[in-house]
């Protein structure tokens, strides 16, 4: 699950001083939030300076906010000033389905000359205690044999290691005859992992359930809603397990529900920042993916390349299955 940025336009002419919000930025940010939530994207366009308007015409502004941002992130519930970044103010933007950083730059006439949306980077005060690994025994959250596309403790085997909130994460899919699909590669249904049942790896409570994010056409991505349709489980030991890119409409559980190990939770999909059907699986120290620090996720009793392993962390190119399965 690669971190992609939505770049609208960035420009800057001012130098800001103390790390506190300026009233004029507060007013423009509030006006932006109101216009966005009303669907009045023309009002946002009217606040652009001439260079922004030339680079992002009205039709493109309406498409960007209406078809990309709103369709995947939903309503903008709050804008909370976070910090300064050069000439710009950084706000934590909490949407219905995503938490993003909104970077706002203004010219001397309070016209918007820079606007940038990216996945939220938490402050140190937001961070929960770091986990080293799971203490709860875990099963693999699927049936049959799957293939570890990314997994391990270095960036050569696991590109997730470059992002603290995803470090040690797995991307897991199904393959046959050296391929993850059979037939037209632009159809999700032709991918072996697509629609496969995703199971609870342990007894836990559902603390986050996101559904309604469309599955991508293979090869395309959704950079706004990074995890797509998502489940986060909390173990009795206070560990958080995130399962991402699930199939739209497939979730069978809701927030607050207790689940048992092996219970069917959803189906594997291709939603969010995903190019093909796979399961993004990770252990983290808090419910919020954007604030999390990833941790090592080891499995209790599994088969790895046909061999039994206990308390094991698989790596890239391993074929894995639960040991009880033959």
Cβ–Cβ < 8 Å for 205, 311: no
**pLDDT score for 312:** 98
- DSSP annotation string for 180-203: SB-S-TT-GGGBTTTT-EEE-SSS
Count CB neighbours of 208 within 10 A. Answer: 16
Residue of 206, 227, 216 lying closest to 276 (CA atoms): 216
Cβ–Cβ < 8 Å for 193, 275: no
Does the global pTM surpass 0.85?
no
How far is 148 from 314, CA to CA, in rounded Å?
Answer: 8
Catalogue all structural domains in the chain, each as residue range(s) with its CATH number. Answer: 6-121 (3.10.450), 146-322 (2.70.70.10)
* CA dist 95 → 44, 78, 98, 174 (Å): 17, 7, 5, 33
Burial of 125 (0-12, 13-18, 19+ CB in 10 A): exposed
Locate the DSSP E strands across 86-128: 88-95, 99-106, 112-119
**pLDDT score for 325:** 57
User: What is the three-state SS of 56-96?
Assistant: CCHHHHHHHHHHHHHHHHCCEEEEEEEEEECCEEEEEEEEC
Residue 108 DSSP label: T
**pLDDT score for 126:** 56
**pLDDT score for 2:** 41
Count CB neighbours of 274 within 10 A. Answer: 25
**pLDDT score for 16:** 39
Instruction: Quick: pLDDT tens for 53-106.
Output: 988 899 989 988 987 788 778 899 999 999 998 779 999 999 987 888 999 999
* Ranges of the chain with pLDDT below 50: 1-17
């Amino acid at each position: 699950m690669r971190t992609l940025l939505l770049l609208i336009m960035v420009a800057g002419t001012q130098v800001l001083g103390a790390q506190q919000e300026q009233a004029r930025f507060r007013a423009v940010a509030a006006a932006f939030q109101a216009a966005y939530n009303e669907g009045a994207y023309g009002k946002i366009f009217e606040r652009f300076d001439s260079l922004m308007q030339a680079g992002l015409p009205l039709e493109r502004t309406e498409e960007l906010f209406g078809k990309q941002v709103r369709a995947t992130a939903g309503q903008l519930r709050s804008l909370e000033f976070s910090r300064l970044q050069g000439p710009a103010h950084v706000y934590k933007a909490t949407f219905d389905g995503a938490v993003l950083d909104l970077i706002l730059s203004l010219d001397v006439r309070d016209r918007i000359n820079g606007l940038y949306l990216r996945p939220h980077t938490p402050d140190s005060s937001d961070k929960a205690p770091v986990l080293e690994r799971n203490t709860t025994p875990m099963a693999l959250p699927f049936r049959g044999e799957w293939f570890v596309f990314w997994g391990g403790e270095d960036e050569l085997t696991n590109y997730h290691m470059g992002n603290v909130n995803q470090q040690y994460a797995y991307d897991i899919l199904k393959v046959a005859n050296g391929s993850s699909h059979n037939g037209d590669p632009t159809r999700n249904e032709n991918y072996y992992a697509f629609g496969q049942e995703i199971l609870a790896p342990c007894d836990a409570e559902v603390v986050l359930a996101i559904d309604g994010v469309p599955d991508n056409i293979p090869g395309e991505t959704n950079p706004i809603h990074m995890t797509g349709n998502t489940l986060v489980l909390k173990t009795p030991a206070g560990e958080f397990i995130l399962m991402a890119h699930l199939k739209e409409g497939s979730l069978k559980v809701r927030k607050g529900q207790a689940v048992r190990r092996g219970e069917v939770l959803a189906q594997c999909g291709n939603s969010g920042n995903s190019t093909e059907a796979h399961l993004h699986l990770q252990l983290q120290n808090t419910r919020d993916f954007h604030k999390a620090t990833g941790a090592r996720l080891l499995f209790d009793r599994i088969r790895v390349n046909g061999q039994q392993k206990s308390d094991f962390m698989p790596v890239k190119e391993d074929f894995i299955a639960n040991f009880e399965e033959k």
